[in-house]
Structure 1
Amino acid sequence: MPTYYKLVRDHIPEIIEKTGKKFTTKILNSTEYIEELKKKSFEELEEYVNATNKEEAIEELADVLEIIRALADYHDISFERLEEVRQEKANKRGGFKERIFLIEVEDE
């Protein structure tokens, strides 16, 4: 039986159950949950980086967004407030639309 030891979406046990396969799960405590959410964020971002076409990229970005929503919820912040903070930072420091790539800055 393959082992996974990773955080999965809420309906995955139901989906596996419908196949008739046996499986084992556990409910994570708060400390385990945030640790696994952080790991999952890297996993999903890597899948986005490795996407080979636009459709795959969109699917993986949706997964990244789902992780961001879960992280915001864990930190007891609404997605709307998170967007406000993002906008405040964008107003102060800009976004990434201009594609600026910093090469070097003179040392003092």
Structure 2
Amino acid sequence: MPIYNKLVRDLIPQVIEARGKTCNIRILEQSEHLEEIKVKMQEEALEFQKAASPKEAIEELADILELVHTAIQMYDVSYKQLEQIRTRKKRRRGGFSKGIYLIEVKDEEGS
């Protein structure tokens, strides 16, 4: 039996049982849950990076968004508040849509 030791979506135990298998789970404490969300976010970001097609990339982005929704709920922040923060940061520093890739920054002395 494979051992996973990772955060999974809420309905995965039912999916496993519907396939005639059993699984061993535990419910994480809030601090553990938040740490595992961070780990899962990295996992999903790597899967997004490795996505071979637009469809796969969108699926991974949906997973990342689900993790964002869960994390902000744990921080007691609404999606509206998160969006306000995103918008404020975009106004101050811009977004990422232009594809600007910073090579280096030189100080006034040229080094």
Range of TM-score over shorter length: over 0.9
1:97 shift after superposition: 1.3
Partner residue in 2 for 1:92: 92
Aligned residues: 108
User: Are 2:106 and 1:106 aligned?
Assistant: yes
Q: Secondary structure at the match of 1:83?
A: helix
1:9 shift after superposition: 0.4
* Aligned residue runs from structure 1 range 1-108, under 5 A: 1-108=1-108
Aligned equivalents of 2:106 and 2:23: distance in 1? 58
Aligned equivalents of 1:45 and 1:93: distance in 2? 23
Q: Secondary structure at the match of 2:52?
A: coil
Q: Which runs of 5+ in 1 are unaligned?
A: none
Aligned equivalents of 1:21 and 1:68: distance in 2? 30
1:103 shift after superposition: 1.3
Deviates more, 1:73-82 or 1:97-106: 97-106
1:73 shift after superposition: 0.8
Q: Secondary structure at the match of 1:8?
A: coil
Give the AA of the match of 1:103: I
Percent of pairs with identical residues: 48
Moved over 3 A (4+): none
1:107 shift after superposition: 2.4
Q: TM-score, normalising length from structure 1?
A: 0.96
Q: Which runs of 5+ in 2 are unaligned?
A: none
Q: TM-score, normalising length from structure 2?
A: 0.94
Aligned equivalents of 2:30 and 2:37: distance in 1? 10
